[in-house]
Structure 1
Amino acid sequence: MSHIPRKRFGQNFLQDQGVIQGIIAAIDPRPGDVLVEIGPGLAALTEPLMLRAGRLHVVEIDRDIVSHLSARFSPDQLVIHNADALKFDFAALAGEINPGGAIRLAGNLPYNISTPLLFHLAGFGAAIADMHFMLQKEVVDRMVAEPGTADYGRLSVMLQVRFNMDKVLDVPPTAFYPPPKVDSSVVRMMPWPTPPWPVGDLDALEKLVTTAFGQRRKTIRNNLKGIADDAQLAAAGIEPGWRPENVNVGQYVALANLLAAC
């Protein structure tokens, strides 16, 4: 298929066979797995995923690519959902194709919508067994960052509270057509079977964390002035003079839960 990559869809097509095999090995699809690929593009991952699992669902916004995939693969092998992943209900799909179970997600995510898409997917909880995504390397570094590092921030806290995550491999720009201007990485995301930091109100936690990281150079005391006093910070195990990146996920959760109870 001759397809001109569309900038508005953030299309960069994976073509390096070594990288493709590395990603497939990380996902390790098994026969009967209920797999959903986001953004199949020209089927670099689609075909090996489908061959390993036996059947595959894909979510694709580009109608030209949908037409190509429909002509290339049988509907018994490939089920195509022509939709915007940012608006797609993955929980409803899970209920339809694996009642009472969960789905596995994979894909080379469009870098221009990666952060909002990650937050959208994070809302589906028990409907997802695991996720393997190609993303901009700096985004993955922020996702898996440890407290006390420059990469640690809102994205780190709000995803780590929901998922156990690790970076699987780094991917150079030369693995794609056209080559992006950034390096890429593959991340594995697995919902916690039992959350290590139970959250009373996720929306309240997100507002707290967003405010805390609003000005990274200021102390947590200053950033949360009028929201939490020194005694409340101390009760959550937080030193008021710390910078926001020094507060770990459990401490943010403890503070959010404490403030919600006041």
Structure 2
Amino acid sequence: MRRSTRRAPVRSRPWALLEVFLRRGRLPALDSRPGDGRLALVTASRRGGRRPLGQHFLRNPRTVERILAALGASAGDTVVEIGPGTGALTRPLLSRGVRVVAVEADAGLSARLLAELAERGLVVVEGDARAVDPGPALRQAGAAPPVPLVGNLPYESATPMVRAFVRRPDLYARLVVMVQREVAERLVAAPGSDAYGFLSVDVAAHAAARLLFGVPPRDFAPAPRVFSAVVELVPHPPEPGTAGALALASAGFASRRKTLLNALSAVHDREAVRRAIASAGLPEDVRAETLGLPELRALAARLVPGGS
């Protein structure tokens, strides 16, 4: 018997349908039905007919489970979720008895999540995660910071978000976030590696970072053109001398191909820079890309005495 060449009905390909809606500027709300493993899609119009903030929605339940396992939240805990989107992480967190304070910039997504999940304890703070303070919402949820943070961060704003989050050890105990793979490599890079740069130094000054696992494009709808990765960051207060170290790192990486002597001579007296480098026990031709925070702090202390 000849095999049929007809395509499967759309209802058997829910994530293909999701991509169709996103291309047409209509966003489905996804409802994971416990027990039968199916996804119910309900269409809803979006203002302006555009995909929300260039988001790619996580669709692989195995990846969701790996993220939740890394987060380690249990019943009674409260977490902040950045960019809940269609609720791929939100629903299983709520199902486990975890209280979720979600920060979502898209008003349409916020409304749909609240309509479905408010009775299960979801609190949504609408706004840009880089500027919104979830502290009042955490208190509303009965939580005392610091709390864990989880999220599938938008590619275009992940870097400023991470830099803002790690500067709040008073608010966030640890972060488990998904970002573009290249960004993840820069977040955890060590001195001397190709990915090492100012972002690596800045994050290391405020958090302990490690890469957990990679995530392929097929785990999202629509599939992005890049790979992603999940990283863990544990914020901590910066040590004394960090501001001076970051100022030197910024100047050094702004002229990456130059020696630190030449790069810093643009803003400091050249002979003072030469003496500081020698006093710190560093070679005169040293470059910023080879120095970690301890060396940068030592150099800053000699070049800018009394600098914080």
Secondary structure at the counterpart of residue 75 of structure 2: coil
The CA deviation string for residues 109-155 of structure 1, in whole angstroms up to 9 with x for no partner, is 00111111112222222221000000000000001001111100100
Match of 1:206 in 2: 246
Match of 1:86 in 2: 130
What CA distance in whole angstroms lies between the structure 2 residues aligned with 1:100 and 1:13?
A: 30
Q: Count residues with an aligned counterpart.
A: 258
* Amino acid paired to 1:37: E
What CA distance in whole angstroms lies between the structure 1 residues aligned with 2:279 and 2:119?
A: 57
Match of 1:43 in 2: 87
User: Structure 2 unaligned runs (5+)?
Assistant: 1-28, 30-42
Instruction: Please report how far the alpha carbon of residue 93 of structure 1 lies from its aligned counterpart in structure 2 after TM superposition.
Output: 4.9
Secondary structure at the counterpart of residue 73 of structure 1: helix
CA distance 1:237–1:31, change in 2 (3 Å): farther
* Amino acid paired to 1:106: V
* Amino acid paired to 1:81: V
Instruction: Please report how far the alpha carbon of residue 89 of structure 1 lies from its aligned counterpart in structure 2 after TM superposition.
Output: 1.8
Q: If the length of structure 2 is used for normalisation, what is the TM-score? A: 0.77
CA distance 1:258–1:172, change in 2 (3 Å): same
The CA deviation string for residues 205-259 of structure 1, in whole angstroms up to 9 with x for no partner, is 3332111101211111111114351221233343221222111121112223333
TM alignment of 1:1-262, pairs within 5 A: 1=29, 2=43, 6-7=50-51, 9-91=53-135, 93=137, 97=141, 101-192=145-236, 198-200=239-241, 202=243, 204-225=244-265, 226-227=267-268, 229-261=273-305
The CA deviation string for residues 57-98 of structure 1, in whole angstroms up to 9 with x for no partner, is 100011110111011113452001111112112455556656
What CA distance in whole angstroms lies between the structure 1 residues aligned with 2:54 and 2:274?
A: 45
Root-mean-square deviation (Å)? 2.3
Do the aligned residues in 1 keep the contact of 2:212 with 2:231 (CA within 8 Å)?
yes
What CA distance in whole angstroms lies between the structure 2 residues aligned with 1:131 and 1:18?
A: 20
What CA distance in whole angstroms lies between the structure 2 residues aligned with 1:240 and 1:94?
A: 50
Q: Who wins on radius of gyration, i.e. which is larger?
A: 2
Secondary structure at the counterpart of residue 187 of structure 1: strand
Do the aligned residues in 1 keep the contact of 2:103 with 2:128 (CA within 8 Å)?
yes
Secondary structure at the counterpart of residue 74 of structure 2: coil
What CA distance in whole angstroms lies between the structure 2 residues aligned with 1:162 and 1:78?
A: 30
Q: If the length of structure 1 is used for normalisation, what is the TM-score? A: 0.89
Of 129-138 and 46-55, the range deviating more from structure 2: 46-55
Secondary structure at the counterpart of residue 257 of structure 1: helix
What CA distance in whole angstroms lies between the structure 1 residues aligned with 2:187 and 2:291?
A: 15
What CA distance in whole angstroms lies between the structure 2 residues aligned with 1:58 and 1:123?
A: 19
What CA distance in whole angstroms lies between the structure 2 residues aligned with 1:85 and 1:248?
A: 29
What CA distance in whole angstroms lies between the structure 1 residues aligned with 2:273 and 2:126?
A: 50
